[in-house]
Structure 1
Amino acid sequence: MRLVPLAAAAAVAAAFLVPATASAAPAVRNYPILSLGCLSRQAPATGVTTHETVTSGGLEREYLLHLPAGYQPFHPTPVVMAFHGRKGDGSDIEAFSGIDNLDAIAVYPVGVKGEADQRAWESAPYAAEGVDDVKFVSDLLDKLQATLCVDPNRIFATGKSNGAGFVSLLACQLPFRIAAFGTIAGAFYPGTTTGCSTSAPAPIVDFHGTADPTIVYTGDVSHGVPTPALMDWAQNWATHNHCTTGPVQTAIGTDVLQFSWSSCDQHANVTHYRIIGAGHTWPGELVDSGPGSATQTVKATQVIWDFFNAHPLTAHL
């Protein structure tokens, strides 16, 4: 492996904005920071998944980490965080999504056990009380950027079900730290909009099956609280992002309709995929991802990756 001189590595790191000072560091960083890990020659093994921990909110929090085979110190690399659904543990979304195959640092955070001793994320009615998962994400990103050569302009978040709902919350609360967001079969409880009324535009791409038995496409009540109709949810994001064009409808194959909103503030486009007849599943799943059928007409992971690459943080700062 070719080693880059320390001065060159410092120049790479210096290109990515000003680091936060310890005295000024807020509880949650909603802004990009230096990836000082670009100065390190050390890295976990590439091409394999390792179990890692970080302390946040007085808890030892877990996550899975998978570095791409081509990862090199001093070469800024994008990060894709993928959040599991209720009852998951990170290994499930890793298996059915194929995110490990992207040229990115794949990170699978693990939720804290809440109601019925099942892991879940903040914003859901069954999540563990008093756990600040947004702070966990901020602390996790701090650790990743301190130890790995992360591209601060290309940090992304995706998730399924309760994990997707949490990603929507992150879009409200960390739009200047995370560049773009992808949601699949999202459980968009009222808590997922906390902070949205005053937050900046955020690019987001969404997928949802019309036959989803868990989170009903046309809106319903889940765990005693309402969930929105998906077209209303997408339109609300387009309105939030001040999009002036759309929705433009495009048929993809026989079972997928794409709705896209563009000409948005800060290039924060919104795209929604209606998967006709699909269940609570990940489009293009590699293994079973939930109840009901899963389309192979579109591959959510590749579509999300293309969307992410089109929306680096610098495009909407």
Structure 2
Amino acid sequence: MSLVTACESMQAQQMTSRQGKVVYGESNGELTDQGYARTYDIYTPKSYSPSRPMPLVLVFHGDEGSGRSISNVSQFNTLAEQKGFLVAYPDGIDQRWSLRKTSKRNIDDVSFVKNFINHLEQVRNIDSRRIYATGFSRGGILTQALTCQLSDRIAAFASVAGSLPRRLKQTCQPQMPVSMLMINGTNDQSVHYQGDEKTQKGALVSIPEAVNFWRDHNQCPAYTAKNVAFVAGNQSDAPAGSRARRDRSKVKTYSYSGCSGGSEVVQLAVVDGGHLWYGGTSSDKDVNEFNKDLGLDSTQTIWNFFERHSLPFV
């Protein structure tokens, strides 16, 4: 078991919780796990009450990132305030995630996430049936890895610019059906849509192969597959030939429902899209222009997916 200590910075109105004081808005915390001090950011909406359990979304940053950076990019805090859920952003050690213990780092971040959830349940009143995980890039790869061991703790998963490690695919046997949303660009030069060479270190399977893996695990009937264009806002009413009508075909959606245990698998393929959190904030003008034309809000799409899923009563 890990030694867990809480230490939150107060940045908003204080209130009493099961462990003393908690805050509305942004705060940060710390816990000790596997001999390392681990830090995180957490957002608590004003609708939170210590007497009422609230859903929790875990968000994992990419390499060279941090909890704060993915918070700024994804803007999950704004949505959490609007919709009424907690959101936590843990920091990887040296800004990276480890999927298994190695001789150099001796860190297992899948195990850390399990302990992190236990820690958060001590400092917030969390709905244990509605805990969700999402991440970008390496954080999306970690999200995929979590399914193998934590399908009994996390109700649904969403990876952005991530895929399933080939090594894990061979041994991944989740205890329960896994609801998975994958958002990937077909021209991603970091997480290749067609996957990596099998001999490559840390090789990832192709996006279609990962989707088929989750479909098979969930026993999804093949006839539920859909290949439709994503429609943002009221673009369906746009006149023929307009930018809105042209751009809405840039995202192909493949949806597989009717799977075991009410699970579903959804893939959004951004045609010619690169390595980014679609719809997120950016200092790059080209990225902002691309996102504006695309009209895909990954954060809202992920929450819409999460809202449909919860763990069964035990």
The answer for the alignment partner of 2:305 in structure 1 is: 307
Deviation at 1:130, TM superposition (A): 1.7
Q: Does 1:107 align with 2:107?
A: no
The answer for the alignment partner of 1:200 in structure 2 is: 176
Deviations 1:282-315 (A, max 9, x none): 12112259x9654642211111111111001128
Cα 1:149–1:195, aligned 2, differ >3 Å: closer, same or farther?
A: farther
Cα 1:153–1:132, aligned 2, differ >3 Å: closer, same or farther?
A: same
SS at match of 2:225: strand
CA distance in 2, matches of 1:247, 1:133: 33
**Contact residue 98 and residue 107 of structure 2 kept, 8 A:** yes
Cα 1:70–1:238, aligned 2, differ >3 Å: closer, same or farther?
A: same
SS at match of 1:44: strand
The answer for the alignment partner of 1:249 in structure 2 is: 227
CA distance in 1, matches of 2:69, 2:225: 33
CA distance in 1, matches of 2:156, 2:283: 26
CA distance in 1, matches of 2:176, 2:144: 13
The answer for the alignment partner of 2:68 in structure 1 is: 91
The answer for the alignment partner of 2:9 in structure 1 is: none
Q: Runs of 5+ in structure 2 lacking a partner?
A: 3-15, 231-247
Deviation at 1:127, TM superposition (A): 11
1:103-182 equivalences in 2 (<5 Å)? 103-113=84-94, 119-123=95-99, 129-182=105-158
> Which structure is higher in helix share?
2
> What is the root-mean-square deviation in Å for CA atoms of aligned residues?
2.9
What letter is aligned with 2:206?
A
The answer for the alignment partner of 1:214 in structure 2 is: 190
Cα 1:243–1:220, aligned 2, differ >3 Å: closer, same or farther?
A: same
What letter is aligned with 1:47?
G
1:262-277 equivalences in 2 (<5 Å)? 262-277=257-272
CA distance in 1, matches of 2:67, 2:225: 33
SS at match of 2:249: coil
CA distance in 2, matches of 1:202, 1:268: 6
Cα 1:195–1:44, aligned 2, differ >3 Å: closer, same or farther?
A: farther
SS at match of 1:206: strand
Report the TM-score, using the length of structure 1 for normalisation.
0.79
Cα 1:108–1:260, aligned 2, differ >3 Å: closer, same or farther?
A: same
What letter is aligned with 1:231?
P
SS at match of 2:312: helix
CA distance in 2, matches of 1:124, 1:210: 28
SS at match of 1:250: strand
Cα 1:121–1:194, aligned 2, differ >3 Å: closer, same or farther?
A: farther
Deviation at 1:211, TM superposition (A): 1.4
CA distance in 2, matches of 1:178, 1:197: 15
Report the TM-score, using the length of structure 2 for normalisation.
0.80
CA distance in 2, matches of 1:255, 1:53: 41
The answer for the alignment partner of 1:258 in structure 2 is: 253
Give 2:47's match in structure 1, choosing from 62, 70, 73: 70
Of stretches 257-266 and 68-77 in structure 1, the one that deviates more from structure 2 is: 68-77
CA distance in 1, matches of 2:136, 2:46: 25
Cα 1:212–1:70, aligned 2, differ >3 Å: closer, same or farther?
A: same
Cα 1:296–1:67, aligned 2, differ >3 Å: closer, same or farther?
A: farther
Q: Runs of 5+ in structure 1 lacking a partner?
A: 1-24, 27-37, 114-118
What is the identity percentage for the equivalent residue pairs of Structure 1 and Structure 2?
28
The answer for the alignment partner of 2:243 in structure 1 is: none
What letter is aligned with 1:186?
G
**Contact residue 40 and residue 91 of structure 2 kept, 8 A:** yes
What letter is aligned with 1:301?
T
Deviations 1:192-246 (A, max 9, x none): 4375235321101010011111111122349634322211211111111111143
The answer for the alignment partner of 2:234 in structure 1 is: none
The answer for the alignment partner of 2:242 in structure 1 is: none
Cα 1:122–1:191, aligned 2, differ >3 Å: closer, same or farther?
A: farther
Deviation at 1:187, TM superposition (A): 4.5
CA distance in 1, matches of 2:256, 2:53: 30
What letter is aligned with 2:85?
A
CA distance in 2, matches of 1:225, 1:68: 38
The answer for the alignment partner of 1:185 in structure 2 is: 161
